Structure 1
Amino acid sequence: MLVLKKALRSEFKKPIGTLYPSLDDAQDFLASQKPDTLLVSVGDVTTRNLQERGLIPHLGIIDNQVERKPAQHDIVYDNVTLKADNPAGSVTRELWNTVKQGFQLIKAGYRVLILVTGEEDLAVIPGVILAPPGSLVFYGQPGEGVVICEVDRVRDKVIKMKEMLEEE
């Protein structure tokens, strides 16, 4: 299991990709993407907001929590649902392998929703590292908006972030 130590938390709170105040503010960017761009979403609000705009994530990673409180909505779409345990501030081997399995299922033509028991915040790390080239990873930046990561541009940065986590 990879664990984020307290001393690095402020570093990991900085946006990895481009921060937009809302998905509406990202419309020009999104309109410039190829129609077959693979979309990954991390977080309940981000996944729901994408759905509401007709952008159904190929891989959605949620924990049924919004800012540590039970989500007030259900994320439902035509998908394969996988489950993984992942405590707060960590990336378990189980989560990593489940994300990997999710991308394999996407190659077979499925959309995948991963339901995390615990916390999904750091799922951005395996999401970016394992995503196919050209993919976009979306996640919420609490109180600020949505971050869109162009995988090809941020993968090296995310690999370095992963290396800062402690193995336990």
Structure 2
Amino acid sequence: MTRDDNDSAPAEDDQLLVLPDDLRHELKEPMGPIETDARRLLEAVDGPLIAVGDVVTYHFLQAGRQPDVALVDGRTKRSAVDEEIREAVTAGASIEVRNPPAELSAPVVRALRRALATDEPTTILVDGEEDLVALPAIVAAPEGASVVYGQPDEGMVHVTVTDDHRTEMRALLERFEGDTERFWNLLDE
């Protein structure tokens, strides 16, 4: 497994964006339809599959589909996932990065870009929290890709990437606190 942290840079250089408290309520609303059955959700997938979350990734693996990009952190609803899920979703982890809760760090953005650029399925193991990576994933993924993330106690939210979704996510990310210019430079590389 490779680490994508830039250990030579000061820690503050890794922090790009922080979720402001006044945006938290907006992220509670699902950005797409909610599905509870992974096989049925997969019927609507036509293109690359980006899974954000351990349980979502596990359900796809159980349904026989390895996500093209998976982001996992060993947790669900702020608690450790079961050992079976942890072992299944981290077995193929190829990149390990730090990303603190409620933030988007430079290492996780670089890892996302690298994972999207390769033809091999890539699992990014996040030390911290991976939830917010769904937002830049929607911006950076190709047209028609599926970004799927968990909606606690409801199911899996399926976002099929379109220009409208990208525009909406860009506007939302612009409202985060931090170095948005550096964030966009890294994401758009």
Normalising by the smaller structure, the TM-score range is: 0.7 to 0.9
2:153 aligned with 1:143, yes or no?
yes
Matched with 1:164 is: 175
Unaligned runs of 5+ residues in structure 1 are none
Change (3 A) 1:52 1:2: same
Is the contact made by 1:61 and 1:114 (CA closer than 8 Å) also made in structure 2? yes
Change (3 A) 1:141 1:110: same
Matched with 1:23 is: 37
- Taking structure 2 as the reference length, the TM-score comes to 0.78
- Note the 1:8-157 alignment, pairs <5 A: 8-20=23-35, 22-23=36-37, 27=40, 30-34=42-46, 37-72=47-82, 73=85, 74-76=87-89, 79=92, 81-105=94-118, 109-152=119-162, 153-157=164-168
Change (3 A) 1:32 1:126: closer
Change (3 A) 1:146 1:76: closer
Is the contact made by 1:85 and 1:116 (CA closer than 8 Å) also made in structure 2? yes
Amino acid at match of 2:172: M
Aligned-residue identity in percent: 29
Tell me the CA shift for residue 23 of structure 1. 2.2
Q: Any idea what SS the aligned residue of 1:115 has?
A: strand
Is the contact made by 1:58 and 1:110 (CA closer than 8 Å) also made in structure 2? yes
Bigger Cα displacement from structure 2, 75-84 vs 57-66: 75-84
- Matched residues, number: 160
Matched with 2:10 is: none
2:5 aligned with 1:7, yes or no?
no
Taking the aligned partners of 1:80 and 1:70, their CA distance within structure 2 comes to 17
Is the contact made by 2:57 and 2:89 (CA closer than 8 Å) also made in structure 1? no
Amino acid at match of 1:135: A
Tell me the CA shift for residue 30 of structure 1. 3.6
Change (3 A) 1:5 1:77: closer
